[in-house]
Structure formats: structure tokens, C-alpha cells
Structure 1
Amino acid sequence: VNLECAIGDRGESLPKKAYRFRAPPSAAASLALAGIDVVTLANNHAMDYGSEGLADTLRLLDTVGIAHVGAGTNAAEAHAPAILERNGLRIAFLGYVDVPVESGGWDARSVIATDSSPGLAWADLDQIASDVSAAKARADLVVVFMHSGFEYWDKPNRVQVEIAHTAIDAGAALVIGAHSHTLQGIEHYHGGAIAYSLGNFVFEIDQSRDSAMLKVNLSRAGVESLEWIPVVLDPNDGRPMIAEGEARQRILDNIERLSADLTGGG
């Protein structure tokens, strides 16, 4: 899951941020109760409340046993994989961010983790290739989260494609994207699968309320199958609801159209 907020009650909001997202400390337990076992923090809101806010988020996730990637107390932690074992399969997760400068002037590169400071994992292509290769040596499969692209675009931009292709070429089996707030297509590339954006999942928004979950069956050979589960967001509180009837078909048709535009098709 892309956890696009801080969790906690400490830290000062960053200047130049048009939107700042933070959930109360109790939200961590709610995520665990919902069955979430790994999140990516490599996005443009995990650092909305600075290093203290990130520290709270990391601590609270650790407390409830949710693994996290894409951010840390230093660069080594931000780029370290979370390795989970399910049904005898060891899966390594990594997370990266590369988003444009926001309208208010805030630049995600200002909160990138360094050797001596906390922050996010920036999507440097050489670093991604190195991280994925190292993670693949420790796990059966590698899954990469990327937070990139332009908001409200339904097609991936050049940066998204470069990140995703680099990850697959380095050995990742699956790349899952976010940031556009709208669905984008899926590409089958060099034996891997790339879902460029799953849209929104829990988000109060007037537009782009069509979304989807992606069910993926994995084996040591890679991605065995993909199944889209269309959802629509409740207009009152942003909660996802399973789409049925015309709404379900509309979302599936849109995903098929968007995927057909990508190299390799859907």
C-alpha cells in the first residue's frame, strides 16, 4: 500500500506545501487490523511534518508490525528492502519517489535521505538497478513501488517508464505506481508487469473516483496472473466500494483502453 501521509502528532508542517496530510497515532493499528503488512513511504506526503513526523510514522508502523520501504533515518534505511515470506515465497519490496516540483514551490528532492539525514528514497536509475539486484539476491521476487508522474494524467510519462523499465531490467517481477490520482494502464515488459497507477484507494476527492485493486498471483517464476477488482470511492467520505454493474464494466473498459496504448499491451 502507498501510505501517503505521516502518522503521529509531532513535527512542524513543511513550508511551501499546499496540502499536508497526517493521521493520528491510532491509525497505525487500524492499518494492521485491515490486513496491511507492507507500505511504501516514498511519496510527496510522508515528510509533510518533517523528520519528527517521519520518525513517528516509522516507530508506529514498527510497533504494529507493518513493514515499510522508501524512507528511513538515513539513505541506507530508505533504500533497504522489506522482505516478507508468504507460502514459502520470499518477496522483497522497495519504494522510490520522483515527482515534479509542486505548484507552491516544494521540491521532493529537499527531503531525500542522505548518509546522515532522514528522508525518502529518490528514484535515481542507477541506484534502483543496484537496489533491485541486491534485493533479488536475497529473495525469490522483487516488487517495486514507484511514486511518479503527473497528477490527473491517465498515461505514464517518460520518467515513470524509465523507472519501471529499469526496475524490471534489474530483476524486479512487478512494479506498482501511484501519484496520478487516476488509473493508468498496465504494461507487460521483459517478463515483468508494470501497473503504472492504481488511482486512489481511500481519498476524499470529487474527480477520479473510479479506481481498482490489483490481485496478483506470484510464484518463483514471477507474475503468474493479474486480476483487476474495480472500486469506486464513496463521494461522502472517500472509502472504496466494490464496483458493480455499469460502473464495474466502465472501469474495466478504461483499464483495457489505457493498457492497449502501452508497449506490449494489457
Structure 2
Amino acid sequence: MSTSDYLAANQANWDDRAPLHAARDGSGYGVARYLNDPAALSDVVTFDLPLLGDIAGLTAVHLQCHIGTDTISLARLGATVTGLDFSRESIAEARKLASEAGDAVEFVESDVHLALDALPPEAFDLVYTGIGALCWLPRVQDWAKVVAGLLAPGGTLHLREAHPILWAMDESVTTDLALRYPYFEHVEPLEWDDAETYVDTPTALTATKTYEWNHSLGEIVTALLETGLRVEALVEHQSVPWEALPGQMTLGDDGEWRLTDRAGVVPLSYTLRAVKPA
């Protein structure tokens, strides 16, 4: 298979996930809370707040935005936000949710690699990339170039991602931490075939095959530095917002999962902030 075949399979999978994640019955992402409470923020953006800082008045783009819950949350913090995603169904659900909730957010359907064709260059004070995004991209250098191209001089990238050491672990081992998969970027992706998604849904997926790539922390930092961005912060966290290692994690009141017995042994996610020099 070619890279385009891998990405097409991933797109079909996310098209399949979108209506399940956007269900109004309490399953999926539980999106009813955004409709019932105009001040509600996603758990992900709430976790980001201390490092994200005040974004009121900023022009922001959320890359790989899925159904837009984090995108809407950024808008509720006062930013003018555009969400971008390659999944047509995700964008449709995001637009529907924002319209029903009364939030002024623009959504654009585009592969993140083509974002500079779909959006104006150097137009954004903030590029936001949420958790679970980079693993779907074959080459982190290509993503870094897009980020640098979208940022206005003086603009900031805010990235929170699952740690590459977590992506390298075998989640089927439920009694201990076990490294199995590549930590470094690899040409051929890991292939998965799974009818379930990472949140509770009433029905199974039909487009079940997905393809993922890991990127080491050093590769991510280096790719951003090579575009001319200046890394200002890199913070590793002991939590992640889904049960990444079933049977070994405990859910906190903040919506974050932490290791139950091996806390502090490995990082589970990280936040990176980088600035484009003025």
C-alpha cells in the first residue's frame, strides 16, 4: 500500500467515528454538555489552561480538530478560531455542534498537509494541536512546516500530545508496562484492525483498519527547530485523557487517566510550546 492508501483508510475510519462521537444520548464525547452549558469547556482544554494562558482576542487554528469540542472550547476562551480536519463527517458534526451551541467557529475540511492551501499563511496567533493527532501523520517534518507556515510572526504553537514512549507500549499487556512498538519515526506504519473506538459508543465501527506512525520527542523538537520556531516550554505529564493502558490506570476527577501502581515510572503525555520569531 502507498501512503495515500494508508491516509485514505484513516480518513474512512474517522468518518465512521464522527457521528458516534457526536451522539446526543450521553455516549461518545458527551456533547450535550456544550449545548446545555454555554460556558462548558472540554476536559482537554481545561487541562491545557495553565500552559495555554490567556488567548482572548487571538486568531487561532485548531489542526486535526475532529468534531470540534476542543475548538469550541478555545472559542469560549475568547479566541477567533478555525478548526481544520480531513474527515468530512467530522467537519459536518463540528459545524452542527457549533451551530446548535451558538458558538461562532469556522470549520474547514482539509488534510493537515494541505492546510496552507486551505488557509491563509502567517495569519494565526495560535496554532493548537490537541492530543492524539501526530500519530496519524507519516512525517513530523511535514507537519512542522505547516505549523510554521500558518503562524504569524510572534505567534505560538501549543501542542499537547500522548508521549511517544506511551505509543511504544503494548496495551494488550495488562499486568505491567511493556515496550513493543517503535519509539522512533518509521517508514511503514503500524496496522490496526479494531471495531471499537476510545470512548463508549452504542455501535461498532465498520471502517476498522487504521495506520499509525510514532515520532520521538527528539524528532518532534528538531523538526520544529528546523523551521525556525523557538521552543519555549516542554513539560511531561503523568496523565493522558483516555485509558491508554487498560487495567493499569485510574480515572481522576479531571478526566485524566494515571497509572495506578506504577505512577511516575514513565511520562504519558507532554505539552510543547514554540514561538515563531517576530
Q: Per the shorter chain, which TM-score range? A: 0.3 to 0.5
> What is the TM-score normalised by the length of structure 1?
0.40
User: Higher strand fraction: Structure 1 or Structure 2?
Assistant: 1
> What is the TM-score normalised by the length of structure 2?
0.39
User: Higher helix fraction: Structure 1 or Structure 2?
Assistant: 2
